[in-house]
């Protein structure tokens, strides 16, 4: 299934994509694409629906973030060896974890705001993992059973805030609009191997990132297991699993986003995003 949320920002309704690519409304079935509705039992209940009987939604409606009420937005740094190299950092021997504020979350085609006094706003296409069933200290062998599905994430980053303002990375990762998620959540059964997905990103038509999840340092199963050792993962929590090479920081010389730029990005089987950047105070 491809689950989604549509409508005005802050008032999104739950929906799903039918076999013809049309949006069907789920608001009389579930209150949101969130929480217990993402559990194995919750997803089975949605699969049992007669999709053709669900109300059709008007075309060209705004899509919100694919998951609602996200409790934790956990990111993994330097999870592609070639990205670590372009960043001038060593490949980690354990996953590098940091948090991204949930207030950064937006829809897949919403405008991205360049922060006040920012000169180094950067892009990162990433595979997003959405937790379905509670995971506490789970083994690698069964970790994927706790995954509801996958989504495209643009882990936008302000490199000066991240690397030059002291402390941890969260300041450079959590600016408003720095967390587009979607267009939809693709359930785990449609993605049999999350370690063989092509992912790409373009800015103004130029392809900067062109990678594959098979080159991850730590697999999705390893990440879910590892993170669940340190914190209980709850339904609807999101893990952003790292980015392949080609970020602006790694260009020679570095290239950063400016107002009016257009990012287009996607992951095989998970859909595409498109965002235009706007200046602070102009959105």
Q: What is the DSSP string of 212-246?
A: EGGGBSS-HHHHHHHHHHHS-B-TT-EEE----S-
What pLDDT score was predicted for residue 91?
85
Residues 6+ apart with CB under 8 A from 2: 16, 17, 184, 185, 186, 187, 190, 271
pLDDT of 18 > 80? The answer is yes
Q: What pLDDT digit, counting tens, does each position of 61-113 carry?
A: 999 999 999 999 999 999 998 887 888 888 889 999 999 999 999 999 999 99
Q: What pLDDT digit, counting tens, does each position of 208-256 carry?
A: 999 999 999 999 999 999 999 999 999 999 999 999 999 999 999 999 9
Tell me what the mean pLDDT of segment 11-27 comes to. 97
CATH architecture designation of domain 68-278? Alpha-Beta Complex (3.90)
What pLDDT score was predicted for residue 255?
98
What pLDDT score was predicted for residue 83?
82
Tell me what the mean pLDDT of segment 126-153 comes to. 98
Assessment of whether the complete model's pTM goes beyond 0.75: yes
Tell me the average pLDDT of the chain. Answer: 96
Q: What pLDDT digit, counting tens, does each position of 267-280 carry?
A: 999 999 999 999 99
Residues 6+ apart with CB under 8 A from 56: 22, 23, 24, 25
What pLDDT score was predicted for residue 87?
80
């Amino acid at each position: 299934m491809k689950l989604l949320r549509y409508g005005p920002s802050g008032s999104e309704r739950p929906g799903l994509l039918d076999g013809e690519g049309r949006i069907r409304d789920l608001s009389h079935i579930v209150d949101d694409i969130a929480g217990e509705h993402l559990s194995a039992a919750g997803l089975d209940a949605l699969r049992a629906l007669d999709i053709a009987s669900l109300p059709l939604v008007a075309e060209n409606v705004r899509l919100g973030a694919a998951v609602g009420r996200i409790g934790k937005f956990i990111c993994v740094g330097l999870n592609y060896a070639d990205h670590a190299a372009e960043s001038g950092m060593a490949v980690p021997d354990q996953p590098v974890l940091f948090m991204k504020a949930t207030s950064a979350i937006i829809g897949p085609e919403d405008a991205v705001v360049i922060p006040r006094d920012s000169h180094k706003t950067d892009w990162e296409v990433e595979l997003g993992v959405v937790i379905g069933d509670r995971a506490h200290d789970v083994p690698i062998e069964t970790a994927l059973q706790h995954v509801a599905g996958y989504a495209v994430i643009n882990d936008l980053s302000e490199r000066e805030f991240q690397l030059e303002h002291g402390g941890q990375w969260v300041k450079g990762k959590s600016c408003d609009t720095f967390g587009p998620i979607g267009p939809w959540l693709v359930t785990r059964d449609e993605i049999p191997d999350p370690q063989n997905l092509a992912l790409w990103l373009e800015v103004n038509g130029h392809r900067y990132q062109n990678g594959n999840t098979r080159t991850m340092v730590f697999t999705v199963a390893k990440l879910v297991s590892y993170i669940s050792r340190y914190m209980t993962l709850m339904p609807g929590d999101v893990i952003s699993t790292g980015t392949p090479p080609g970020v602006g920081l790694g260009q020679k010389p570095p290239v950063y986003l400016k107002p009016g730029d257009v990012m287009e990005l996607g992951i095989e089987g998970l859909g595409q995003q498109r965002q235009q950047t706007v200046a602070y105070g102009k959105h």
